[in-house]
Structure 1
Amino acid sequence: MLEAIDIHADALKRAALTAGPAARVPNCPKWTVHDLVAHIAFVHGFAVGLAVNRPVRPEPPADWADVLGWWDGQRLALREALARDPESPAFSPYPGFAVTVGDWTRRMAHETAIHRLDAESALDDVPPTRFDPGFANDGIDEFLTYLTPRLGKKADVRVTTPERTWTFGEPVAEVAGAADDVYRALWGRPHGASVTGDLAPLAAP
């Protein structure tokens, strides 16, 4: 997961530099690429404090060149913070739920991967990025079994990929398809999965 953070952050940065700060982000219509980079820079900086159990709310600089450099620094700090024992306790912003360093590593891997897709959506020539089934299935599991309950959401859904099935409650919605497509569907990104019912109650933040 540490390697995944690096891989997807590097791809996100490449796409952001190619698209330019003023480009619109079709996956997130209210954002420019500058907004997206400021967001992921903040998230990585915030996760540094969470991983070492000393939460702070960082303030990325406003200038495009400055925020890119600041993000590079936060990425280095994040890698160092997450290199600790994955079972070490970390700060939990979720009342009633304990969180470990390993949980934040996993959370940042998937947060960065999804925002990589957002940055690539701003390109004139969108690359055919596909996540391998192992990573995508882990992202689905993290969304359904880790993130959803911690955000106080109720998952009455059945989710099926060729490799796994998740069933929660009395399903009022179903999502099926290749793991990559299901992963994107749960995060509200363009996808090729089959969706029946209403996924709004699970909408990602």
Structure 2
Amino acid sequence: MRIATARSAIDYICGRTDQEQAEPVPNCPGWTVHNAAAHIGRVGIAWAEMISSAPDDPQSRERGYERSGRKLAGSPMTDLAAWAHSAIDRLVDDPDQRCYFSMTGGEGTARLWAWHAASELGMHRLDVELALGHEHSMTSAQALDAAEYTCQFFLPAMRRVLDRDPGRLTARLVDDGDEVGSVTIESLSESGSTAAAVIEGPPIQVLLGLWGRPHHGVEVCDGDSEVWQQWRALPSEAFQFGTWD
């Protein structure tokens, strides 16, 4: 399912018309739709390098992004899609293949990369759908899966980069009054801090909020709202890709 989700996102983002490619992406200031496609194409090159490398080869990340940076600006969408699909191709044969995984800075598997790809590429699809006024295609189940990845790997990685622990956060994903599921990021504080928050909202909107994107309908239903705001701020503070093209 995750590999199919990732491939579908690539085809959607890289399949836009010339006119659509020029549209700005409000969720990613400074980006157009073409910049979003350039991003997923270029990170595909970097992912492929890490997926092909041993778990104890942290230099594979630097090599991958150095390779991606050599690609020329203005690359056609067909090339961008091919680079992204090439990374996904490496995940098909053996899900338990051991390799370097950037979110933990160490050992991972092709299965983890597939989860990463479905979650990140799914998020960028949401960005482009919003930019073009298209209905969001992500299901509640996919949003929950992406939120679980985000809270287990992505946001903890951002926390490590900034060496800042906002506290314990629980997110409840609710669709038409029914809870689809919930995810929690535990605090790592050694000081015994009790800072915590519980948020609730529609699945896609919760996911957007976790990635620091504009969202609506998400409420802090318990605890300290500052915990939620600090978690939301981590992605853009920790790391932000340039436009490349």
TM-score grouping bracket, smaller chain normalisation: 0.7 to 0.9
SS of equivalent residue, structure 1 residue 82: coil
Whose Rg is larger? 2
Structure 1 stretches of 4+ with a deviation exceeding 4 A read 94-97
SS of equivalent residue, structure 2 residue 17: helix
Q: How does 1:120-159 map to 2 (within 5 A)?
A: 120-123=129-132, 126-151=133-158, 152=160, 154=165, 155-159=167-171
Q: How does 1:10-25 map to 2 (within 5 A)?
A: 10-14=11-15, 16-17=16-17, 19-25=19-25
Report if aligned partners of 2:23, 2:131 keep a CA contact under 8 Å in 1: yes
The counterpart of 1:90, out of the listed 81, 86, 99, is 99
- Identity %, equivalent residues: 22
Give how far 1:130 is off. 4.2
Does 1:77 pair with 2:86?
yes
Name the Cα RMSD after superposition: 2.3
Structure 1 residues 62 and 108: CA distance shift in structure 2, 3 A: same
CA distance in 2 between partners of 1:32 and 1:100 (Å): 32
Amino acid at match of 2:109: T
Amino acid at match of 2:51: A
Does 1:62 pair with 2:81?
no
Report if aligned partners of 2:50, 2:100 keep a CA contact under 8 Å in 1: yes
Give how far 1:120 is off. 2.1
Give how far 1:181 is off. 2.0
CA distance in 1 between partners of 2:12 and 2:86 (Å): 19
The counterpart of 2:180, out of the listed 163, 173, 197, is 163
CA distance in 1 between partners of 2:129 and 2:23 (Å): 11
Bigger drift between 129-138 and 152-161 goes to 152-161
Give how far 1:109 is off. 0.9
Larger relative strand fraction: 2
For each residue in 1:46-78, what CA deviation from the matched residue of structure 2 results, as whole angstroms up to 9, or x when unmatched?
111111117322133212xx3423213213322
CA distance in 1 between partners of 2:100 and 2:32 (Å): 31
CA distance in 2 between partners of 1:48 and 1:143 (Å): 21
TM-score (normalizing by structure 1): 0.84
Q: Which residue of 1 aligns with 2:191?
A: none
Does 1:184 pair with 2:208?
yes
Structure 1 residues 47 and 7: CA distance shift in structure 2, 3 A: same
SS of equivalent residue, structure 1 residue 164: strand
Q: Which residue of 1 aligns with 2:243?
A: none
CA distance in 2 between partners of 1:76 and 1:33 (Å): 18
Unaligned runs of 5+ in 1: none
TM-score (normalizing by structure 2): 0.72
Report if aligned partners of 1:156, 1:171 keep a CA contact under 8 Å in 2: yes
